[in-house]
Structure 1
Amino acid sequence: MPPSHAVLPAGPDFAAYARTHWSRLVATARLLTDDAGAAEELVRRTLVRMCARWRGVPRDDVDFHVRRCLVRSHLRPLRGRRAARRRTVLVLRIWEGLADSEIAQVLGCSVSAVRAHARHGLKEAGDEPVRLRERYARAVEDLVPSEVPLAGLRTRGRLRRRRRLAVTSTACVALLTPVTVALLSVDRIGGGARDGASGARGERSATSPVRVVAPGERVTVAPGVRVWLTADGGHWSVPDALPQDDNHLPVDGPGGAAAVSARADTVRGGFFLSGLFRGLRGEPGRVEVRTGDGTTTAKVLVLAGSPGWGVWYAPAPLPGRT
């Protein structure tokens, strides 16, 4: 039978959640990985990540954040493999009983993409949903998960949280200057984008940090980090982002005044600085980011038509690294 979802009291602590859901998570991971050992390791990694950010997880939506972390931890090393995404969609739909809209939120894709994955996945599996559910049940009926390694999860989770806090604190200090520098660049931004013939624009585009993208076009800007622009603003997809992080920044602001936002996300080997600027005339000519390691020219994404806003981004090393 598909997993039953235990009703927990409001605001469960991490230990209570881990004990209650360990077996269910291992069963789901077993169906995703098709390997009992890999399944437990996947759940351990997931719960360590969740322990590190537990204070920020909305208590009325814990299952969603845990499930999303589990699925993305599974798919991250398999990026680009359609078979893995199709299998994931079928497990979430048939075993977990999620609606297509819920699966789309977990995977960070459209509902139509979920339906396409499900359609192709069922065709490859060669089974109807009812029979596939029976296959899933047989695959996990003899599964006996080990005892939840609560002490290890807590220890690794605390270490991960301390590391995140240390990096975030350093990044926040570094971001105080980038906002000022970017705002000062506004006066230099507007003119160059509209001056000159098309030949001059073509010459500038060869060396300019500005990239024109289509609405919704996903751009990989750092390991595991994707950014895209739509008419309503900038969007971020960041591994291990805290649940309370705002991964959508709207372009409209009070009175349409010029402004620059800034955020910091941890990535492999350092942290990633980015944000949204608005209130300009034309495309930016140059956006500089100043940190303790010096000044860097940020790259910029804008939509066609010089809308006067866009996203800037620049990687930065961890303190003490070169």
Structure 2
Amino acid sequence: MVTRRARLVRTAYLLTGDAGEAEDLAQTALAKVYASWRRVARADNPDAYLRRVLVNASVSRSRRMRVPQSLSHSPPEVPVSDQTDRVLVRSVLVAALGRLPRGRRTAVVLRYWEDLSESEAAQAMGCSVGTVRSQAYKGLAQLRSDPDTAALLWPGTHRQEGVSV
């Protein structure tokens, strides 16, 4: 639990957009896994099981919420002055992730932030590999077309009608 908590909270933050909500979500996932630890410990990949519980808890929470939430404008980490560019890129990216629909955001976070394979992401999301591919592709396309991320991540390019010049 101690070794996985920080990464779990970061992933939860990317899924929820709120530091407090991320803490609660990670706590919920860890409590559920703890309650069935004997079964989890016998599994081939306890980390995959924990990710699946986290994603399921995130989906359940968002279904119960009556008021839609969006990602906050800044990540929970305190920026260090010599890492200003990195913090700026990260905050713009996190804000852009918040504008993605839940399925696309989950696929992009699991595939590219958590660096999971398509099959691992599909297992965590409870869907097919094709769905992960489709959601990740559409999510990346939406991030590329977002004016904030395009200007920051691809400076000097002019994007017009999907063509980079």
Q: TM-score, normalised by structure 2?
A: 0.62
| Between structures 1 and 2, the one with greater strand share | 1
Alignment partner of 1:20 is 2:3: yes
Quote how far apart the aligned CAs of 1:77 are.
3.5
Rg larger for: 1
Question: Gapped runs of 5+ residues in structure 1?
Answer: 1-17, 136-322
Q: Aligned runs of 1:35-184 on 2, under 5 Å?
A: 35-57=18-40, 58=42, 60-78=44-62, 83-126=101-144
d(CA) in 2 for partners of 1:114, 1:83: 13
1:116 is displaced (CA, Å) by 1.1
CA contact (8 A) 1:32 1:91 kept: yes
Q: Is the 8 A contact 1:104 1:114 kept in 2?
A: yes
Secondary structure at the counterpart of residue 19 of structure 1? coil
- How do 1:121-270 residues align onto structure 2 when only pairs under 5 Å count? 121-126=139-144
- State the aligned residue count: 114
CA RMSD of aligned residues (A): 2.7
The code of the aligned residue for 1:38 comes to: E
**Residue type at the aligned position of 2:107:** V
Amino acid of the structure 2 residue aligned with 1:117: Q
Please tell me whether the aligned partners of residues 75 and 85 of structure 1 are also in contact (alpha carbons under 8 angstroms): no
CA contact (8 A) 1:89 1:103 kept: yes
Q: Which runs of 5+ in 2 are unaligned?
A: 69-99, 154-165
- CA gap of 1:59–1:105, structure 2 versus 1, over 3 A, is closer
Change (3 A) 1:59 1:109: closer
The one-letter amino acid of 2:55's match is V
TM-score (norm: length of structure 1) = 0.33
Percent identity, please.
43
Distance in 1, matches of 2:53 and 2:28, equals 9
1:205-226 deviations in Å (ceiling 9; x for gaps):
xxxxxxxxxxxxxxxxxxxxxx
